[in-house]
Amino acid sequence: MRKGTARDGKRSSSAASASEGQESSDAGQVATARKADDRRGSGARRTSGEPLRASWRPAPSGERDRGQRNRGRLARFARTYGWRVYALPILTVITVLVAVDTASTGDDTPGGQQAATPASGEQSPGPQATEKRGAPVNLNIPTAKLPAGQDFTPAGKGSWHVVPGDGKKVGKGGEEFTYTVEVEDGLDPTSFGGEATFARMVDETLADKRSWIGGGQVSLRRVGPDHPDPSFRVSLTSLETSKRPDVCGFSIPYPTSCWNSSSKRVVINLGRWVRGAKAFASDMITYRQYAINHEVGHALGNNHVGCGNDGDFAPVMMQQTFGVANNYVAKLNTVDPSNRDAVPRDGKTCKPNAWPVLDSRPAN
Ligand SMILES: [Zn+2]
């Protein structure tokens, strides 16, 4: 029941983002090429010897007589005004082409790429090409931004070491999980109080009766560097390393912790550990307890949920780092397909909460 696949570990869309950018760039070249083709097309008509207006506005057969009368008037008009008669429709068409191109490439894409839109009005107007293009993800979630605060090492060395120490089994549940506490190499310890402080916070949180052991189904035991195969590794990780596709990925453009089921790594983002999240305001202890319980919750097989009842404490498996309002967190569904039905857009807002078990009652 517990050892399922967690959602966060599946995020990795840096490649997808790159390919979207590439599509925009290539399509822009296609648009330019088509524009050039249009110009060549007009030129070809001009060399055919036909009157310019005839190729653009062929008269229906029923209007032939009237058309001939009109052509007589136009001929007199042309004799009077010379080349300007031909210049007027050319200028009109060029103006239309430029207007179409400008209007349809005005929308924004990541990285400032211009939209792919054929300039020709004959083939397909702007909106069709815009739909084909990969839609830019606009995640405007004000509560998801990293708060201002203390400095931290932005990028570690990309490898981890196990913090020495082990512990007794906590909890009475029949299914036992082992874990290590690890810290990325190259992190300045002053921002998080050193690795022993980090390890103590992890141990105390997981040993609390309000944590997963309080549900009565699992027990936990910390193991040291010599353990060959711990169930999961709680790992303090720099912001840049967390973005790696083999760590958390970066499909959601906000700093985040995650669970990576392939490496069995519970990734705790150092930036979040130091700065917290807006929903928790200045309550760093509660935020850190939340981060540990949420990500370890994935390691134990739990998936994301939303706020159940307006005004209640948020479920620990809600993505509270990004906010405690369902409408904000639901925006994440557009990025992570595995989250698509996790949170309804129903306007409910909860209060921040770090614990799976509230009031000593089982979470479920
Ligand atoms: Zn999660």
- Domain total in the chain: 2
Q: Is the pLDDT of residue 37 over 70?
A: no
What percent of the chain clears pLDDT 90, i.e. is strictly above it? 52
Amino acid 333: pLDDT: 77
Given a cut of 80, whether residue 309 has pLDDT beyond it is yes
- Asked if the structure places residue 236 within a domain, the reply is yes
User: What local confidence, expressed as pLDDT, does residue 276 receive?
Assistant: 96
**Between residues 360 and 23, which one has the greater pLDDT?**
360
Residue 216 shares a structural domain with residue 284:
yes
Does any domain span residue 302?
Answer: yes
- What CATH number did the domain enclosing 158 receive? 3.40.390
Residue 322: both structure tokens together: 């990004």
In angstroms, the CA 206 to CA 148 distance is 28
Q: How far is 322 from 143, CA to CA, in rounded Å?
A: 6
More confident residue, 25 or 153: 153
**What local confidence, expressed as pLDDT, does residue 336 receive?**
75
Q: Distance (Å, rounded) from C-alpha 151 to C-alpha 130?
A: 41
Question: What is the pLDDT at residue 167?
Answer: 96
Q: For residue 255, is it within any domain?
A: yes
| 296 C-alpha to ligand 1 centroid (Å) | 9
Q: What is the pLDDT of residues 47-64, one digit of tens each?
A: 333 333 333 333 444 444
Give the residue among 323, 330, 324, 322 at the shortest CA–CA distance from 346.
Answer: 330
Q: How far is the CA of 316 from the centre of ligand 1 (A)?
A: 9
Please report the sign of the dihedral spanned by the C-alpha atoms of residue 226, residue 229, residue 232, residue 233: positive
3-state SS of the chain: helix, strand, coil percent to 5? 45, 10, 45
158/288 same-domain check: yes
Cα(300) to centroid of ligand 1, in Å?
12
CA of 218 to the centre of ligand 1 (A): 19
- Residue given tokens 């929903």 in the structure block: 279
Please check whether residues 161 and 240 belong to one and the same domain: yes
Whether residues 155 and 293 share a domain: the answer is yes
Residue 275 lies inside a defined structural domain of this protein: yes
Q: What is the pLDDT of residue 325?
A: 94
Tokens standing for 269? 């983002």
Write the pLDDT tens digit of every residue in 201-253.
999 999 999 999 999 999 999 999 999 999 999 999 999 999 999 999 988 88
| pLDDT at 109 > cutoff 50 | no
Distance 8 CA to ligand 1 centre (A): 5
3-state secondary structure 228-262: CCCCEEEEEECHHHHCCCCCCCCCCCCCCCEEECC
Average the pLDDT over each of 10-19, 90-99, 177-186 and give the range with the smallest value: 10-19
Same-domain pairing of 149 and 283: yes
Distance in Å, CA 58 to ligand 1 centroid:
64
Q: Is residue 51 part of a domain?
A: yes
| CB 110, CB 136: distance < 8 Å | yes
- pLDDT at residue number 195: 98
**Mean pLDDT of the region 264-291:** 96
Distance 298 CA to ligand 1 centre (A): 7
Q: Domain check: are 164 and 118 in the same one?
A: no
Pair 214, 81 in one domain:
no
Among residues 114, 117, 120, 103, which one has the least CA distance to residue 40? 120
Distance 38 CA to ligand 1 centre (A): 51
CA of 253 to the centre of ligand 1 (A): 15
pLDDT per residue over 165-196, tens digit each? 999 999 999 999 999 999 999 999 999 999 99
User: Residue 357: is its pLDDT beyond 50?
Assistant: yes
Give 142 Cα–ligand 1 centroid separation in angstroms: 18
Distance 155 CA to ligand 1 centre (A): 22
Please tell me whether residues 188 and 293 are part of one structural domain.
yes
Indicate whether 242 and 271 sit together in one domain. Answer: yes
* The CA-based dihedral angle spanning residues 23, 25, 28, 29, taken in that order and rounded to the nearest 10 degrees: -110
Question: Which residue(s) pair with 177 in the sheet?
Answer: 220
pLDDT at 34 over 80: no
Q: How far is CA 307 from the centre of its chain?
A: 21
Cα-to-centroid distance, 323 and ligand 1 (Å):
12
Pick the last residue of a domain from 132, 159, 176. 132
In a domain, 355, yes or no: no
Per-residue confidence (pLDDT) for residue 310, from 0 to 100:
95
162 and 116 share a domain? no
CB 117 within 8 A of CB 104: yes
CA 187–ligand 1 middle distance (angstroms):
24
Domain end position, chosen among 132, 152, 167: 132
| 190 C-alpha to ligand 1 centroid (Å) | 27
Distance 319 CA to ligand 1 centre (A): 6
Residue-range definition of the domain harbouring residue 240: 143-339
pLDDT value at position 196? 98
- Non-local CB neighbours of 318 within 8 Å, separated by 6+ positions: 304, 305, 306, 307, 324, 329, 343, 350
Residues 165 and 128 in one domain: no
Q: Are residues 101 and 188 in the same domain?
A: no
The whole model's pTM is what?
Answer: 0.63
137 in a structural domain: no
Cα-to-centroid distance, 198 and ligand 1 (Å): 20
Beta strands 175-184 and 232-237: pairing type? parallel
In a domain, 356, yes or no: no
Residue 23: the pLDDT is 28
